[in-house]
Structure 1
C-alpha cells in the first residue's frame, strides 16, 4: 500500500506479508463486534462468470461444483486505489462452491458483493508489486485440500460466508 496508509486495513495485506489471513471465525467475530470498520472499495474493473463442473467437492459428494471465474486485466490505478497513476498486475482466480441450494444462494450473494466491488482490492506484495488480490471476504480457491485454508472440505464455510457477507450489507 502507499505510504501513510496502514497495512492492517485489509486482511489481504496480512496475507501478502506472510502472516496469513484471519480465520473465518475471527472475521465473523470481528465484524459482529464492530472491530472491522467498513472500507471503501478499491476493486478494479473485472469480470465474474461461473460454470458447473460435473464433479463433487470433498464434503459434498452428492453435488456438482460451481466454479466461479474472476478475471482482472492489468491496469493503471485510479484515485480510489492505493497508488493512483501506478500500474497494477491483474489476476485470474477460480473459486468453488457446491452446486446445491445453499451454494447457489451464496453464489448470488457473491455476485452482489462483486458488483458492489467488495471482493477484491489492490495491494502491494512482498516484491513491491501492486496486484489485484482477494479482499477480506474469504474465497475457496482450491477444490480440495483439508490442510489448505482455501480448500474443501469445510462444512461451516457457506454459513460463515453468508454471515460475513451479511455483515458487509450483502443480503
Structure 2
C-alpha cells in the first residue's frame, strides 16, 4: 500500500510538471499568435490601401482625360466661333459694297464649308466624351470578404489523448491547402468556357460529319452518273465503230459498184429434175438474162451499144452445190460474174457455167469437179463461205443494176 501511494504521488508530481510546461507553452503560443494577428492585420490593411490607391489613381486618370477633352472642345469651339465671325463679316462686307460677283463666288463653296464644319463638330462631340466618376460599392464582394475574414484565423486546441498521453491538434488531419473563392470562380468560369467550347466543337463536328456525309452522297451520285455516262459513252463508241465499219463496207461496196463492168441483168434460180442415166436427179437451174444496152465508162467502148444474151447453168441439189449456188447469186449481186467484151457482147468474167448435157453419161465425177472449180473461181473474186447466209432461199428471181445497188447501199 505504501508503494502504491508513492506511485500515485510520483504521477501527481509528473502531471503537475507537465501542466506547468504546457502553461508556459500556451503563453508562448499566445504571444506568437498575437504577433501573427498583428502581421495579418498589417497585410490586410496594406492590401486594402493598395486597392484604394489603385481606385484613386483610376479616378485621377479619368479626371485628366476629362480635362483634356474639355480643353480640346473649348479650343475647338473658340476656333470655329472665330471662323463663323470671320465668314459673317466677309458676307456683310460683300453685301454692303454690293460685290455681287464676289458674293456669288463666295456662295459656291459655302455649303461645302458649312457641311465640313458640322461634321467636325459632331466628330469632336462624340470622340472627346466625358466620363463620370462615382463610388459604387460591390456589396456582394464586401459580404464575401466579411465572411472569409472570419475564417482567416482559426484557434487550434490541443486535446489530451489516451493512456499513451499523446496530444493531437483538433482538425489538423483535415487541414489542406484550399483554393480561394476567386480561384474557384475562375476555375468554374474556365470549366464553363471549356464546356461551351467542347459543345461548340461537338456541334461543329456533327455539322462537319453531316457535310461529309452529304458530300459522300453527292460523290456517290456523281460516281454513278459518271459510270452511267461512261457506259453510254462506251455504247456510243461501240455503235460508232459499228457504223464506221458499216460505212467503210458501204464505201467499199459503192466503190465496187462504180467500177463494176457487169451490165444490168436478171438471175433466176429454180429447182427441177433431169434424167441422167435413166434416173431423175434433182438439180438447180440458174438462168442469167441480159438485155441489149449502152456501154458505160468502164466498158471497152463507152457510149456504144452492147448485145445481151442468156446464160444457163445447172447444179445438183445436194451438199456443197447448194453453197455454190448461193455464192453464184452473191457474185451476181456484186457484179463479178459477167462483163462486156471488146466486140460488144456480154460474156462470163472468170466464172464457169456447167450444163447437165455436158455431164458424163457413165460417171458423175465431172459434176463434183465442176462444183469445186466454180467454188474456187468465186473465192478468187472475194466470195467466201462467210459471206453466205445458209438460210437464204435457193429459188428466187431478181434484177441487179449497178446504179440501183449504189442507191440501196446509201439508203441502208
- Match of residue 351 from structure 2: 137
The unaligned stretches of length 5 or more in structure 1 are 1-39
Q: Which runs of 4+ in 1 moved over 6 A?
A: none
1:83 is paired with a residue of what secondary structure? coil
Deviations 1:17-56 (A, max 9, x none): xxxxxxxxxxxxxxxxxxxxxxx53110101111111225
- Match of residue 118 from structure 2: none
In structure 2, what is the Cα distance between the partners aligned to 1:57 and 1:168? 32
Cα RMSD of the aligned pairs, angstroms, is: 2.2
The unaligned stretches of length 5 or more in structure 2 are 1-258, 385-412
State which of 362, 365, 378 in structure 2 corresponds to 1:165. 378
Distance 1:50 1:57, change over 3 A: farther
CA contact (8 A) 2:330 2:383 kept: yes
Structure with the larger helix share: 2
Give TM-score, length-normalised by structure 1: 0.64
2:382 is paired with a residue of what secondary structure? coil
Structure with the larger strand share: 1
CA contact (8 A) 1:113 1:119 kept: yes
Q: Pairwise mapping of residues 1-171 of structure 1 onto structure 2 (< 5 A)?
A: 41-56=260-275, 63-124=281-342, 129-140=343-354, 142-145=355-358, 153-171=366-384
How far is 1:81 from its partner?
1.1
How far is 1:98 from its partner?
0.7
Distance 1:56 1:108, change over 3 A: farther
- Match of residue 72 from structure 2: none
Give TM-score, length-normalised by structure 2: 0.28
CA contact (8 A) 1:77 1:86 kept: yes
Distance 1:69 1:57, change over 3 A: farther
In structure 2, what is the Cα distance between the partners aligned to 1:138 and 1:54? 21
CA contact (8 A) 1:75 1:88 kept: yes
Distance 1:88 1:68, change over 3 A: same
In structure 1, what is the Cα distance between the partners aligned to 2:268 and 2:313? 11
Distance 1:161 1:57, change over 3 A: farther
In structure 1, what is the Cα distance between the partners aligned to 2:260 and 2:316? 27
**Which is bigger in relative contact order (C-alpha 8 A, separation at least 6)?**
1
How far is 1:146 from its partner?
5.1
CA contact (8 A) 1:57 1:144 kept: no
Deviations 1:75-122 (A, max 9, x none): 000112111000000111111111112111000000111011111111
2:326 is paired with a residue of what secondary structure? helix
How far is 1:57 from its partner?
5.5
CA contact (8 A) 2:306 2:346 kept: yes
CA contact (8 A) 1:75 1:87 kept: yes
Distance 1:153 1:56, change over 3 A: farther
2:373 is paired with a residue of what secondary structure? helix
In structure 2, what is the Cα distance between the partners aligned to 1:155 and 1:106? 11
